[in-house]
Amino acid sequence: MNVDYRYILEPYKGMKTRYHCPNCNKKGVFTRYIDRQTNEYLSDAAGKCNRLVKCGYHYAPKQYFSDNNYSFDTKINYKVGVKPKPKTSFINVEVFNKSIETKQTNYFIDYLASIWDYEIAYFLADKYNIGTSKYWQGATVFWQVDINGSVRSGKIMLYNASNGKRVKEPYNHINWVHKALKLDSFNLEQCYFGEHLLNEDNSKPVAIVESEKTAIICSIYLPEFIWLACGSANNLNEVKTKVLKGRNVVLFPDLGCFDLWNNKIENLTNLATFRTSTLLETKATETEKRQGLDIADYLTKIKI
Protein backbone atom coordinates (compact mmCIF):
# COMPACT_ATOMS: atom_id res chain seq x y z
CA MET A 1 0.00 0.00 0.00
CA ASN A 2 1.34 3.42 -0.93
CA VAL A 3 1.35 5.96 1.93
CA ASP A 4 1.34 9.70 1.35
CA TYR A 5 0.87 12.84 3.41
CA ARG A 6 -2.68 13.94 3.95
CA TYR A 7 -2.06 17.69 4.38
CA ILE A 8 -0.02 19.50 1.74
CA LEU A 9 0.57 23.04 0.59
CA GLU A 10 -1.73 23.77 -2.33
CA PRO A 11 0.09 23.28 -5.66
CA TYR A 12 0.52 26.45 -7.70
CA LYS A 13 -2.19 26.90 -10.35
CA GLY A 14 -1.88 30.60 -10.98
CA MET A 15 -2.38 33.55 -8.64
CA LYS A 16 -5.90 32.36 -7.83
CA THR A 17 -4.21 29.79 -5.56
CA ARG A 18 -2.19 32.39 -3.65
CA TYR A 19 -3.76 34.56 -0.96
CA HIS A 20 -3.30 37.41 1.51
CA CYS A 21 -0.80 36.49 4.21
CA PRO A 22 -2.48 36.75 7.63
CA ASN A 23 0.80 37.92 9.13
CA CYS A 24 2.29 40.52 6.74
CA ASN A 25 -1.01 41.19 4.90
CA LYS A 26 0.68 41.10 1.50
CA LYS A 27 -1.50 39.97 -1.38
CA GLY A 28 -0.73 36.87 -3.47
CA VAL A 29 2.10 35.51 -1.29
CA PHE A 30 0.31 33.01 0.98
CA THR A 31 -0.11 29.29 0.24
CA ARG A 32 -2.79 27.42 2.17
CA TYR A 33 -2.71 23.82 3.36
CA ILE A 34 -5.27 21.50 1.82
CA ASP A 35 -6.68 18.24 3.14
CA ARG A 36 -6.22 15.64 0.41
CA GLN A 37 -8.87 13.48 1.99
CA THR A 38 -11.60 16.13 1.60
CA ASN A 39 -10.00 18.41 -1.01
CA GLU A 40 -10.78 21.39 1.21
CA TYR A 41 -8.61 24.03 2.86
CA LEU A 42 -7.55 23.15 6.38
CA SER A 43 -7.98 26.73 7.65
CA ASP A 44 -7.65 30.28 6.34
CA ALA A 45 -4.68 30.71 8.67
CA ALA A 46 -2.95 27.35 8.04
CA GLY A 47 -0.31 27.90 5.40
CA LYS A 48 3.02 29.45 4.54
CA CYS A 49 4.11 32.89 3.34
CA ASN A 50 6.63 32.78 0.50
CA ARG A 51 8.30 35.97 1.79
CA LEU A 52 10.73 33.83 3.77
CA VAL A 53 12.98 36.66 4.89
CA LYS A 54 10.61 39.61 5.29
CA CYS A 55 7.77 37.65 6.87
CA GLY A 56 8.49 33.96 7.46
CA TYR A 57 4.98 33.09 8.62
CA HIS A 58 4.30 29.34 8.67
CA TYR A 59 1.31 27.86 10.46
CA ALA A 60 1.66 24.11 9.97
CA PRO A 61 -1.18 21.54 10.26
CA LYS A 62 0.37 19.97 13.36
CA GLN A 63 0.29 23.31 15.19
CA TYR A 64 -3.24 24.04 13.96
CA PHE A 65 -4.55 20.75 15.31
CA SER A 66 -2.69 21.23 18.60
CA ASP A 67 -4.09 24.75 19.07
CA ASN A 68 -7.61 23.48 18.46
CA ASN A 69 -7.31 20.26 20.48
CA TYR A 70 -7.98 18.05 17.46
CA SER A 71 -6.38 14.67 16.82
CA PHE A 72 -3.76 14.91 14.09
CA ASP A 73 -4.10 12.27 11.35
CA THR A 74 -1.11 12.80 9.07
CA LYS A 75 -1.39 10.00 6.56
CA ILE A 76 -3.71 9.15 3.70
CA ASN A 77 -3.69 5.67 2.24
CA TYR A 78 -4.24 4.79 -1.38
CA LYS A 79 -5.21 1.30 -2.46
CA VAL A 80 -4.67 2.20 -6.08
CA GLY A 81 -1.17 1.86 -7.52
CA VAL A 82 1.04 4.88 -8.08
CA LYS A 83 0.11 6.77 -11.24
CA PRO A 84 2.85 7.03 -13.85
CA LYS A 85 4.69 10.33 -13.84
CA PRO A 86 3.45 12.60 -16.67
CA LYS A 87 5.96 13.48 -19.36
CA THR A 88 7.75 16.80 -19.16
CA SER A 89 6.30 19.39 -21.52
CA PHE A 90 8.38 21.76 -23.65
CA ILE A 91 7.80 25.08 -25.40
CA ASN A 92 7.84 25.21 -29.19
CA VAL A 93 11.23 26.50 -30.32
CA GLU A 94 9.54 28.97 -32.68
CA VAL A 95 7.95 30.74 -29.69
CA PHE A 96 11.34 30.83 -28.00
CA ASN A 97 13.11 32.21 -31.08
CA LYS A 98 10.49 34.89 -31.64
CA SER A 99 10.92 36.11 -28.08
CA ILE A 100 14.72 36.16 -28.41
CA GLU A 101 14.80 37.88 -31.80
CA THR A 102 12.17 40.58 -31.27
CA LYS A 103 13.29 44.22 -31.32
CA GLN A 104 10.67 45.32 -28.81
CA THR A 105 11.74 47.25 -25.72
CA ASN A 106 13.02 45.16 -22.84
CA TYR A 107 13.34 47.10 -19.59
CA PHE A 108 15.62 44.54 -17.97
CA ILE A 109 18.10 44.73 -20.86
CA ASP A 110 17.93 48.53 -20.55
CA TYR A 111 18.83 48.16 -16.88
CA LEU A 112 21.82 45.93 -17.69
CA ALA A 113 22.99 48.56 -20.18
CA SER A 114 22.78 51.20 -17.45
CA ILE A 115 25.27 49.17 -15.38
CA TRP A 116 27.68 48.61 -18.27
CA ASP A 117 26.63 49.34 -21.89
CA TYR A 118 24.41 47.79 -24.55
CA GLU A 119 27.23 45.66 -25.94
CA ILE A 120 27.52 43.80 -22.63
CA ALA A 121 23.74 43.84 -22.11
CA TYR A 122 23.12 42.11 -25.46
CA PHE A 123 26.01 39.71 -24.81
CA LEU A 124 24.28 38.66 -21.57
CA ALA A 125 20.90 38.45 -23.30
CA ASP A 126 22.38 36.05 -25.85
CA LYS A 127 24.30 34.03 -23.26
CA TYR A 128 21.34 33.53 -20.90
CA ASN A 129 18.54 33.37 -23.47
CA ILE A 130 16.87 36.54 -22.22
CA GLY A 131 13.69 37.07 -24.22
CA THR A 132 11.11 39.83 -24.48
CA SER A 133 7.37 39.46 -23.98
CA LYS A 134 4.47 41.67 -25.03
CA TYR A 135 2.46 40.34 -22.08
CA TRP A 136 3.44 43.59 -20.36
CA GLN A 137 5.16 46.51 -22.06
CA GLY A 138 8.93 46.00 -21.66
CA ALA A 139 8.58 42.61 -19.96
CA THR A 140 11.41 40.07 -19.82
CA VAL A 141 11.33 36.31 -20.37
CA PHE A 142 13.86 34.25 -18.46
CA TRP A 143 13.86 31.06 -20.54
CA GLN A 144 14.69 27.80 -18.80
CA VAL A 145 16.71 25.82 -21.34
CA ASP A 146 17.97 22.50 -20.04
CA ILE A 147 21.30 20.80 -20.66
CA ASN A 148 19.84 19.05 -23.73
CA GLY A 149 18.77 22.35 -25.29
CA SER A 150 15.04 21.78 -24.68
CA VAL A 151 12.95 24.78 -23.60
CA ARG A 152 11.12 23.89 -20.38
CA SER A 153 9.24 27.21 -20.19
CA GLY A 154 9.94 30.87 -19.58
CA LYS A 155 9.29 33.08 -16.57
CA ILE A 156 7.78 36.42 -17.59
CA MET A 157 8.74 39.30 -15.30
CA LEU A 158 8.57 43.07 -15.41
CA TYR A 159 11.44 45.24 -14.18
CA ASN A 160 12.00 48.94 -13.65
CA ALA A 161 14.55 50.00 -16.25
CA SER A 162 16.07 52.65 -13.96
CA ASN A 163 16.78 50.70 -10.79
CA GLY A 164 16.42 47.05 -11.86
CA LYS A 165 13.75 46.35 -9.24
CA ARG A 166 10.83 44.08 -10.01
CA VAL A 167 7.48 45.77 -10.53
CA LYS A 168 5.20 44.52 -7.74
CA GLU A 169 2.55 47.23 -7.65
CA PRO A 170 -0.38 47.33 -8.06
CA TYR A 171 0.31 43.57 -8.29
CA ASN A 172 3.27 41.26 -8.67
CA HIS A 173 4.15 41.20 -12.38
CA ILE A 174 5.18 37.58 -12.86
CA ASN A 175 3.78 34.80 -15.06
CA TRP A 176 4.87 31.78 -17.08
CA VAL A 177 4.91 31.51 -20.86
CA HIS A 178 2.85 28.30 -20.88
CA LYS A 179 0.25 30.06 -18.72
CA ALA A 180 0.19 33.11 -20.97
CA LEU A 181 -0.26 30.82 -23.99
CA LYS A 182 -3.07 28.99 -22.15
CA LEU A 183 -1.41 25.58 -22.54
CA ASP A 184 -3.69 23.96 -19.96
CA SER A 185 -2.28 20.42 -20.22
CA PHE A 186 1.30 21.68 -19.95
CA ASN A 187 3.40 19.75 -17.41
CA LEU A 188 6.17 22.06 -16.25
CA GLU A 189 9.27 20.44 -14.79
CA GLN A 190 11.65 23.26 -14.02
CA CYS A 191 15.40 23.15 -14.51
CA TYR A 192 18.01 25.60 -13.25
CA PHE A 193 18.02 28.89 -15.15
CA GLY A 194 21.28 28.89 -17.13
CA GLU A 195 21.54 25.10 -17.14
CA HIS A 196 22.40 25.09 -20.86
CA LEU A 197 25.71 26.79 -19.97
CA LEU A 198 26.95 23.61 -18.25
CA ASN A 199 27.87 22.25 -21.68
CA GLU A 200 30.53 24.93 -22.11
CA ASP A 201 32.96 23.50 -19.52
CA ASN A 202 32.66 20.22 -17.62
CA SER A 203 35.29 21.17 -15.03
CA LYS A 204 34.33 24.77 -14.26
CA PRO A 205 32.82 25.26 -10.76
CA VAL A 206 29.16 26.17 -10.51
CA ALA A 207 27.57 28.91 -8.41
CA ILE A 208 23.86 28.89 -7.59
CA VAL A 209 21.83 31.92 -6.54
CA GLU A 210 18.13 32.51 -6.10
CA SER A 211 17.17 35.01 -8.80
CA GLU A 212 17.80 35.01 -12.53
CA LYS A 213 18.83 38.66 -12.37
CA THR A 214 21.53 37.85 -9.81
CA ALA A 215 22.99 34.98 -11.83
CA ILE A 216 23.22 37.17 -14.93
CA ILE A 217 24.94 40.05 -13.13
CA CYS A 218 27.35 37.81 -11.22
CA SER A 219 28.51 36.15 -14.44
CA ILE A 220 30.29 39.40 -15.37
CA TYR A 221 31.84 40.14 -11.98
CA LEU A 222 32.87 36.55 -11.15
CA PRO A 223 33.32 34.71 -14.47
CA GLU A 224 35.29 31.89 -12.84
CA PHE A 225 31.92 30.26 -12.08
CA ILE A 226 29.04 29.06 -14.23
CA TRP A 227 26.19 31.01 -12.63
CA LEU A 228 22.79 29.34 -12.31
CA ALA A 229 19.56 30.43 -10.61
CA CYS A 230 16.93 28.25 -8.97
CA GLY A 231 14.19 30.91 -9.19
CA SER A 232 13.13 31.00 -5.53
CA ALA A 233 14.51 30.11 -2.11
CA ASN A 234 12.58 26.84 -2.01
CA ASN A 235 13.53 25.74 -5.53
CA LEU A 236 16.95 24.40 -4.60
CA ASN A 237 16.18 20.69 -4.70
CA GLU A 238 17.47 17.24 -5.55
CA VAL A 239 15.52 16.79 -8.79
CA LYS A 240 17.06 19.82 -10.50
CA THR A 241 20.50 19.15 -9.00
CA LYS A 242 20.96 15.74 -10.67
CA VAL A 243 22.34 17.57 -13.70
CA LEU A 244 25.25 18.81 -11.54
CA LYS A 245 26.54 15.31 -10.71
CA GLY A 246 30.30 15.36 -10.16
CA ARG A 247 30.56 19.16 -10.09
CA ASN A 248 31.97 21.51 -7.46
CA VAL A 249 29.12 23.82 -6.43
CA VAL A 250 29.04 26.95 -4.28
CA LEU A 251 25.71 28.23 -2.96
CA PHE A 252 25.21 31.98 -2.57
CA PRO A 253 21.93 32.34 -0.65
CA ASP A 254 20.22 35.69 -0.14
CA LEU A 255 20.64 37.19 3.29
CA GLY A 256 18.29 35.44 5.68
CA CYS A 257 18.35 32.16 3.73
CA PHE A 258 21.77 30.84 4.74
CA ASP A 259 20.47 28.17 7.13
CA LEU A 260 17.69 27.15 4.73
CA TRP A 261 20.15 26.42 1.91
CA ASN A 262 23.01 25.15 4.04
CA ASN A 263 20.71 22.56 5.62
CA LYS A 264 19.77 21.27 2.17
CA ILE A 265 23.34 20.25 1.35
CA GLU A 266 22.98 17.00 3.28
CA ASN A 267 20.42 15.77 0.73
CA LEU A 268 22.48 16.91 -2.26
CA THR A 269 26.01 15.75 -1.49
CA ASN A 270 25.48 12.43 -3.26
CA LEU A 271 25.18 14.40 -6.49
CA ALA A 272 27.93 17.01 -6.26
CA THR A 273 30.44 18.64 -3.90
CA PHE A 274 28.72 21.54 -2.14
CA ARG A 275 29.63 24.39 0.13
CA THR A 276 27.67 27.46 1.17
CA SER A 277 29.37 30.84 0.91
CA THR A 278 29.49 32.76 4.20
CA LEU A 279 30.57 35.99 2.49
CA LEU A 280 27.31 37.88 2.92
CA GLU A 281 26.53 36.47 6.36
CA THR A 282 29.84 37.69 7.79
CA LYS A 283 29.97 41.09 6.05
CA ALA A 284 26.33 42.27 6.08
CA THR A 285 24.92 44.72 8.60
CA GLU A 286 21.75 43.94 10.54
CA THR A 287 19.81 46.35 8.31
CA GLU A 288 21.06 44.61 5.17
CA LYS A 289 20.09 41.23 6.62
CA ARG A 290 16.55 42.48 7.28
CA GLN A 291 16.40 43.71 3.68
CA GLY A 292 17.32 40.25 2.37
CA LEU A 293 20.00 41.56 -0.01
CA ASP A 294 21.83 39.21 -2.37
CA ILE A 295 25.35 39.16 -3.75
CA ALA A 296 24.39 41.20 -6.84
CA ASP A 297 23.26 44.07 -4.62
CA TYR A 298 26.86 44.39 -3.47
CA LEU A 299 28.61 43.68 -6.78
CA THR A 300 26.68 46.34 -8.68
CA LYS A 301 28.20 48.97 -6.40
CA ILE A 302 31.59 48.07 -7.87
CA LYS A 303 32.56 49.85 -11.07
CA ILE A 304 34.42 47.66 -13.55
Q: What is the pLDDT of residue 225?
A: 98
* Shared domain check, 286 and 200: yes
Q: What is the pLDDT of residue 69?
A: 65
Q: Is the whole model's pTM more than 0.75, yes or no?
A: yes
Who's near 270: CB < 8 A, 6+ residues apart? Answer: none
The amino acid at residue 254 is: D
Residue 58 placed within a domain: yes
Q: What is the pLDDT of residue 71?
A: 65
Residue 105 placed within a domain: yes
- Total number of domains in the chain: 3
Among 78, 113, 142, identify where a domain stops: 78
Residue 66 placed within a domain: yes
* Shared domain check, 30 and 120: no
* Shared domain check, 170 and 112: yes
Find out whether 167 and 160 touch, Cβ atoms under 8 Å.
yes
Residue 188 placed within a domain: no
Q: What is the pLDDT of residue 27?
A: 86
* Shared domain check, 133 and 39: no
Q: What is the pLDDT of residue 83?
A: 57
Sheet order of strands, 139-145 included: 130-133, 139-145, 151-157, 174-176
Residue 84 placed within a domain: no
Q: What is the pLDDT of residue 3?
A: 46
Q: What is the pLDDT of residue 6?
A: 84
- pLDDT tens for each residue of the chain, 304 residues long: 344 678 899 988 888 889 988 888 888 899 999 888 778 888 888 999 998 888 888 988 888 777 776 666 655 554 444 456 689 999 999 999 999 999 999 999 999 999 999 999 999 999 999 999 999 999 999 999 999 999 999 999 999 999 999 999 999 999 999 999 999 899 999 999 999 999 999 999 999 999 999 999 999 999 999 999 999 888 898 889 999 999 999 999 999 999 999 998 988 888 899 999 999 999 999 999 889 999 999 999 886 6
* Shared domain check, 200 and 230: yes
* Shared domain check, 223 and 139: no
E strands in the chain: 2-5, 7-9, 30-35, 40-41, 47-49, 58-59, 75-78, 130-133, 139-145, 151-157, 174-176, 206-209, 226-229, 248-251, 273-276
Nearest CA among 193, 17, 216, 188 for reference residue 90: 188
Among 78, 105, 134, identify where a domain stops: 78
Q: What is the pLDDT of residue 56?
A: 86
* Shared domain check, 216 and 269: yes
Q: What is the pLDDT of residue 74?
A: 58
Residue 121 to residue 102: CA distance in whole angstroms: 15
Q: What is the pLDDT of residue 2?
A: 42
Q: What is the pLDDT of residue 84?
A: 67
Residue 189 placed within a domain: no
* Shared domain check, 152 and 60: no
* Shared domain check, 172 and 101: yes
CATH of the domain at 249: 3.40.1360
Residue 85 placed within a domain: no
* Shared domain check, 295 and 211: yes
Q: Which domain holds residue 129?
A: 93-180
* Shared domain check, 295 and 206: yes
Q: What is the pLDDT of residue 1?
A: 36
Among 180, 210, 225, identify where a domain stops: 180
Q: What is the pLDDT of residue 304?
A: 63
Residue 304 placed within a domain: no
